[in-house]
Homo-oligomer: A and B are copies of this chain.
């Protein structure tokens, strides 16, 4: 176990977020109003999100958006995060590749989610909002938003996907310790929840359903807005602090990554680490591969189709142009709860369509094997989500070895797994399974999509 850290000073926390849309050759197609099928205007989003976030969401021209001083001040609680050369892992793999990871697990809630939770809570507060709602899968986003809501004095209700509510009770306790209200989704507290519970009484929930419930509560509560932890453009925007810091740190290391890897659920940490590097590919033709690592049981980028679809199960959101498995897709109960989402954000989807990024899908058992090796080499137990990035990194490092090439690989360690130990327990006991997704199930869901547009 040997390690080399690259540390920035507080003054190196970025002053602005990077909005990749401004530099994209083909902009993402516009979200559509589901009733009229006409392109969404920024005002159409105001009932759902804080106005400043709506403006960021549809901003296609400004490459840089200033980070408010109050947000930067709160970033200082744990940022800048370290960049680490994974010498232990390199040695274990006997690879000529150089492996670096950006350690976003050092945030007080253990993941990168705080990067967007803070500005979202900040902009809501600034607009005079008093209550916010959200959904959460594994609970990383919910935990981050609970902290941010408390910091800005907002009341928060979190719909937590039922399977994670039971698999990860301690993320629920974290949210409650920060003062949030947590409801297992599907619940009886919304029309969307009641409907799915009536149709499927044992439904274990999905991010899509939890989003429907959180939107419904926000729309029916005075002075209340909805917030989302992934998928949307403004979330990706906020997360670019990861890649912007990593860029400076790679410079300190005297290297530039050939490959940038992150796990993929809706796209928040993937966008965060990769977009700042992508800009040099877009603007200067830099040769760099971006790889999104998704679960084999929820393979929207590798097996989904590009199509307008809803962001939630009940169909409350605008229609988004995305790689999707269909908004009714019910993912298997894998432990990487944060990756159990049917669609990819619109930016990532457009980039994938344009061949500007790649995707791989990883089986659950391979992610835990990679995670355990990483823990024993680097001393950090990774989140099940982040372990997808580690598994993809190991694949690339072994390929580099086969080819005898000294590749430089950078991946994002989006979170630690200290609150996911029940999953490790099952893995160590040999009780974990892979979930092979039948092609027919994908085909069935995708057929449903044809009705949409």
A residues contacting B by CB (< 8 A) are 1-5, 7, 9-10, 73-74, 76-77, 106, 108-110, 147, 150-151, 169-171, 173-174, 176-179, 372, 375-376, 379-381, 416, 418-419, 421-422, 424-425, 428
A-B contact list, 7 entries, CB within 8 Å: A3-B77, A7-B7, A169-B425, A170-B425, A174-B381, A177-B381, A177-B421
On whether the beta carbons of A418 and B151 are closer than 8 Å, the reply is no
Q: Given A1-B150, A10-B5, A76-B5, is A170 in contact with B418 using a C-beta cutoff of 8 Å?
A: yes
A110 neighbours in B (Cβ, 8 Å): 418
A106 neighbours in B (Cβ, 8 Å): 106
A367 to chain B, nearest CB (A): 14
Q: Given A376-B178, A428-B173, is A2 in contact with B381 using a C-beta cutoff of 8 Å?
A: no
On whether the beta carbons of B74 and A375 are closer than 8 Å, the reply is no
On whether the beta carbons of B173 and A424 are closer than 8 Å, the reply is yes
A418 neighbours in B (Cβ, 8 Å): 110, 170, 174, 418-419
A113 to chain B, nearest CB (A): 13
On whether the beta carbons of B379 and A77 are closer than 8 Å, the reply is yes
Copies assembled: 2
A193 to chain B, nearest CB (A): 24
CA distance A174 to B371 in the complex (A): 12
A150 neighbours in B (Cβ, 8 Å): 1, 376
CA distance A151 to B3 in the complex (A): 11
A149 to chain B, nearest CB (A): 10
On whether the beta carbons of B108 and A177 are closer than 8 Å, the reply is no
On whether the beta carbons of A379 and B425 are closer than 8 Å, the reply is no
On whether the beta carbons of A174 and B421 are closer than 8 Å, the reply is yes
A390 to chain B, nearest CB (A): 14
Nearest chain B residue, comparing its CB with the CB of A375:
B177
On whether the beta carbons of B1 and A151 are closer than 8 Å, the reply is yes
A177 neighbours in B (Cβ, 8 Å): 372, 375-376, 381, 421, 424, 428
Nearest chain B residue, comparing its CB with the CB of A107:
B379
On whether the beta carbons of B173 and A421 are closer than 8 Å, the reply is yes
Tell me which of B3, B7, B169, B376 contacts A179 (CB under 8 A).
Answer: B376
CA distance A150 to B92 in the complex (A): 13
Nearest chain B residue, comparing its CB with the CB of A421:
B170
Known: A1-B147, A170-B421, A177-B372. 6 other contacts (CB 8 A): A7-B10, A170-B419, A173-B425, A174-B381, A174-B418, A177-B375
CA distance A76 to B87 in the complex (A): 13
A422 to chain B, nearest CB (A): 7
CA distance A170 to B168 in the complex (A): 11
A222 to chain B, nearest CB (A): 25
Q: Given A10-B7, A170-B418, is A176 in contact with B428 using a C-beta cutoff of 8 Å?
A: yes
On whether the beta carbons of B73 and A2 are closer than 8 Å, the reply is yes
CA distance A379 to B150 in the complex (A): 9
A109 neighbours in B (Cβ, 8 Å): 379
On whether the beta carbons of B7 and A9 are closer than 8 Å, the reply is yes
CA distance A109 to B380 in the complex (A): 7
A93 to chain B, nearest CB (A): 16
A4 neighbours in B (Cβ, 8 Å): 76
CA distance A178 to B381 in the complex (A): 9
Q: Given A173-B428, A178-B375, A380-B108, is A77 in contact with B1 using a C-beta cutoff of 8 Å?
A: yes
Nearest chain B residue, comparing its CB with the CB of A427:
B177
A376 neighbours in B (Cβ, 8 Å): 150, 177-179
On whether the beta carbons of B379 and A151 are closer than 8 Å, the reply is yes
CA distance A141 to B171 in the complex (A): 23
On whether the beta carbons of A3 and B76 are closer than 8 Å, the reply is yes
A3 to chain B, nearest CB (A): 5
Q: Given A169-B425, A425-B169, is A379 in contact with B108 using a C-beta cutoff of 8 Å?
A: yes
CA distance A376 to B179 in the complex (A): 8
Closest A-B pairs by Cβ, 7 of them: A170-B421, A1-B151, A173-B421, A108-B379, A173-B425, A108-B380, A173-B424
A227 to chain B, nearest CB (A): 17
Tell me which of B5, B10, B74 contacts A1 (CB under 8 A).
Answer: B74
A77 neighbours in B (Cβ, 8 Å): 1, 3, 5, 379
CA distance A122 to B174 in the complex (A): 35
A136 to chain B, nearest CB (A): 15
